[in-house]
Amino acid sequence: MATKTPVECPLCRRVLRPARSLEAHLVDDHSKRELAKFVVCENEALTHGDVS
Ligand SMILES: [Zn+2]
């Protein structure tokens, strides 16, 4: 299944070209720390359940 829908990066809100995977973007353009921060924020939001 070839996805043609543009993917938006959840970290920087940049819309990625279809040829580029989100994974490749994350690895190339974001540091481990940025990724960790994002995951922690998501996790806290889930834990506290107060998504505004
Ligand atoms: Zn990004």
Reported pTM = 0.68
Query: Per-residue pLDDT tens for 20-47?
Result: 889 999 999 999 999 999 999 999 998 8
Centre of ligand 1 from the C-alpha of residue 23, in Å: 10
Centre of ligand 1 from the C-alpha of residue 12, in Å: 4
Q: How far apart are the first and last CA of the chain?
A: 34
Centre of ligand 1 from the C-alpha of residue 5, in Å: 16
